[in-house]
Structure 1
Amino acid sequence: MIPNVFVSSTIDDLHHLRDAVRDTIQEDLAYNPVMSEYGDVGYLPHISVQDSCYVSLRKCQIVIVFLGKRYGSVSPNGFSVTHNEFREARASGIPTIAFVDQEVLTFKKVFDSQKSDTIPPVFPGMEAPEKTFRFIQEIIDAGTNNAIIAFGKVSEARGHLKRQLASMFGELLSSRYDPIKAEIKDILSEVITLRHELSKNQAVDYRLLTATRFLLDDKHKYYRDFIEYTVGPIETAVEQLLKAKTFEEFARLARTEIKVVPDDNNQGIQLRDLMEGGDMIFAHSGMGMPSAPGERSSTTYYICFRGNRAMLNRAALEKLSWHHEQLRLKVGSRPEPN
């Protein structure tokens, strides 16, 4: 299969860069570039232009993000189109490569070093600099896939892109043909289950093994993060998960208060602002994944913790409930041992 590469950036100010990158992807590497201005995005009649871009993005194997001096037009959720596309890629588990104009990175260092009570400096040529700097910081703060690649010239960006894609391809080949790596998660899940059962001097419950394998799957990382924050290690939480018929019941067993905050009022805006301001102990956000029934692909989900209270929007609750339902189905699909 030839990879599809989605290119995300503002267009008018970076059109020369985008044209050059398209040549690199298409001519030099023989991959399929997906770029809206070239008609690579199919605009579907029943959804918005932005949602159509998300549909095309989710069909890609990698997303390239370029950040220049313009933040870009802002969507109804308060983020730019490029920012939303980046979040959609992360939520969908698609690898991203982030390139940032070298001068913008220099401006960010100045911005980060200034004191809060001083007059903000002027950054020539930049539109909404604080939003751009927060976008860059969001990439940096991610636990993985958080590299920032600086570029000053188009030729530099093209060279860096080739090397990054070559590195990812090499890693893919290495992991694809390593039979040991393919079994690591199964072995880890068995070790966790055995450790749990031996500590209680019980026979192995294969439902625990199935549940542990489910939680170790990266497709359920969002759910696993919630569990590990509220209860602790997987082996500690798995019994409560198996007892709970619904996600809400699990939250009660975990002694976590769930408060749903609507998106369409001031509370939703306040919740997002609290997350961005770092006021919460733990925060998780991203674009809604279409694999969870009831979610809209363009819906952003939020979840924040303070103590034993979790504040989240409806999309996040639906997402967590869907994961719990899938766990119940997975465990229930295997008979208990005699």
Structure 2
Amino acid sequence: MILQGRKPTVFISSTCYDLKHVRNDLKNVIEEDIGLETLLSEYYSFPIDPSIGTVENCLRIVEQRADIFILIIGSRYGSTLDNGKSITNLEYLRAKAKGIPIYAFVDKTIIRNIPLWKSNPTMDFSSVVDSPQLFNFTEEVMAIDSVWIHEFEVSKDISTIIKSQLSYLFFDSLELRKSIKNSSISKKVEERSPSAIQLVLEKPLAWEYRFFSQILSDELLMCKELRKDVQYRIFMEFTDPICDLDKLKDWAIENNNKLLRIVNALSTLINEAFPKAIGDLGEPSDLDFLVYIVERISKIYKSIIDLQINISSTTIPESAQKAIECLVMIYDSVLNDIERMQEEIANAISQIPEQTTENSDSFHITIPLILNEFDTSEFIEEFKKLYIDD
């Protein structure tokens, strides 16, 4: 979607104390010389949510506010979290998942020592880095993710390069804007992610299927944090406790019936709506219809999570806990099924070549749009035990 009335925002990610002057110099260049907004966690202008922690705030800002991501790797990896990664590492992963432009800068000393570290990983590098994990992180960015790396010695090196690179990005953005204006893309499609719009503009082989896969992936990714709420039992609201077993039975059955209705709607979208939207071979697809289907799948996905949260946050008798856990697991199996379907679609489409030639071999791809029937037997058995015992 083309937004107007807002400057692009640049998130500068690095360890703070050792690169304080580099970060400050870069902030001044980006804001004063280039005219963009910057986000640096050490400044009072960094928007925080006081209800969550430091790491969550940084990741939230990358997700919600960052348009451009600048990664600076110096001699410090920084303190690690329980998952073994630093905040800078996690910020980078969030920016990569979001799909925004990433410009990476690595201290020349680190670059020079990587070959030595790879040959002698147990060698003492404490005079160069605070943790060998920094070499792992740099190698991940360079070799695994294939992000273009710029070496630097002083902050001016970064400023000079970023001015040039942002000018190229500006030109590319103008060309993309021109392409969108000259195309027949609807407002509904225009609001999709840049990766999805690129597929519509470039039209690679099987681009309609690629478009569907991309927007489905984008929508489910945005729900990832909601699933963590259930996993870690992060509940902001609590319903009234249910103490009466008869009321509990009606409540549980109603929630199970809600899931049945939701899954039926999901099945209709997949088995009836999708074939109509994608069209027959050789016919144009209805992109607005495809967007509608994905938006509804996403809405269903979120509603299942909301039901999970509602059930999990309700206080019930201890004797009924096992039965309710079984009900929550049923909901979880449907969510896993939707995620599996999305992954299988993406994997199937990844096997399609970008284009064919006269000498290309023919190929056949099956797009898996199948939902498994969820099993309620354990839930029913646990409820039977509950009322027999009663």
TM-score in terms of structure 1 length: 0.56
1:149 aligned residue: 150
In structure 2, what is the equivalent of residue 171 of structure 1?
172
Question: In the superposition, relative to structure 1, how do residues 180 and 70 fare at CA in structure 2: closer, same or farther (>3 Å)?
Answer: same
Does the C-alpha gap of structure 1 residues 214 and 123 become closer, same or farther in structure 2, counting only changes over 3 Å? Answer: same
Q: Could you tell me which residue of structure 1 aligns to residue 199 of structure 2?
A: 185
Counterpart CA distance in 2 for 1:18 and 1:65 is 11
Paired position in structure 1 for 2:138: 136
| Aligned: 1:214 with 2:212 | yes
Q: What residue in structure 1 maps to residue 48 of structure 2?
A: 43
Q: What is the identity, as a one-letter code, of the residue corresponding to 1:63?
A: F
Assess, with a 3 A threshold, how the Cα gap between structure 1 residues 142 and 62 changes in structure 2: closer, same or farther.
farther
- Deviation for aligned residue 1:17: 0.4
State the 1:31 CA deviation.
0.6
The answer as to 2:124 corresponding to 1:126 is no
Matches within 5 A, 1:22-37: 22-37=27-42
Deviations 1:23-81 (A, max 9, x none): 11111111111011112322213211211112222211011110000001112221001
SS in 1 for 2:69: strand
Report whether the alignment pairs 1:68 with 2:74: yes
Q: Secondary structure at the match of 2:206?
A: helix
1:126 is displaced (CA, Å) by: 1.3
Partner residue, 2:339: 320
Residue 110 (1) aligns with residue 108 (2) = no
Other-structure match for 1:201:
none
Match of 2:8 in 1: 3
Closer, same or farther: CA 188–122 of 1 in aligned 2, 3 Å? closer
Matched letter for residue 215 of structure 1: S
Trace 1:279-290 onto structure 2 (pairs within 5 A): none
Partner Cα distance (1:103, 1:41) in 2: 31
Matched AA of 2:117: F
3-state secondary structure, aligned to 2:151? strand
Report the alpha carbon displacement of residue 172 of structure 1 after superposing the two structures with TM: 1.3
For the 8 Å contact 2:199–2:210, the answer to whether it is kept is: no
Q: Check conservation: 1:107, 1:123, Cα contact below 8 A.
A: no
Q: Which has the higher strand share?
A: 1
Partner of 2:94: 88
AA matched with 1:214:
F
Q: Distance in 1 between matches of 2:103 and 2:57?
A: 22
Count of aligned positions: 224
Structure 2: runs of 5 or more not aligned: 1-5, 186-196, 222-268, 273-300, 307-332, 347-368, 370-390
The answer to whether the Cα contact below 8 Å between 2:11 and 2:38 also exists between their aligned partners in 1 is: yes
Cα-Cα RMSD: 3.9
Equivalent residue letter for 1:69: S
Residue range with higher mean Cα deviation, 8-17 or 86-95 = 86-95
Alpha-carbon distance between aligned partners in 2 of 1:138 and 1:74, rounded to the nearest angstrom: 16
**Deviating more after overlay: 80-89 vs 159-168:** 159-168
Rounded to whole Å, the distance in 2 between the matches of 1:242 and 1:173 is: 37
For the Cα contact (< 8 Å) 1:185–1:216, is it kept in 2? no
Q: Structure 1 6/115 Cα, relative in aligned 2: closer, same or farther at 3 Å?
A: closer
Closer/same/farther in 2, CA of residues 320 and 55 from structure 1, 3 Å limit: same
Q: TM-score, normalised by structure 2?
A: 0.50
| Structure that is richer in helix per residue | 2
1:161-219 deviations in Å (ceiling 9; x for gaps): 111111111111122212479787348879639xxxxxxxxxxxxxxx6x553025595
- Answer yes or no: is the 8 Å Cα contact 1:69–1:101 preserved in 2: yes
- From the superposition, tell whether residues 181 and 20 of structure 1 become closer, same or farther in structure 2 (CA, over 3 Å): farther
Secondary structure at the counterpart of residue 51 of structure 2: coil
Kindly indicate whether the alpha-carbon contact (under 8 Å) linking 1:72 and 1:80 is maintained by their aligned counterparts in 2.
yes
Q: Could you tell me which amino acid in structure 1 is paired with residue 34 of structure 2?
A: L
Q: How far apart are the structure 2 equivalents of 1:181 and 1:135?
A: 42
Which has the larger Rg? 2
Distance in 2 (CA, whole Å) between partners of 1:24 and 1:187 is 34
Q: Is the 8 A contact 2:74 2:106 kept in 1?
A: yes
* Counterpart AA for 1:62: I
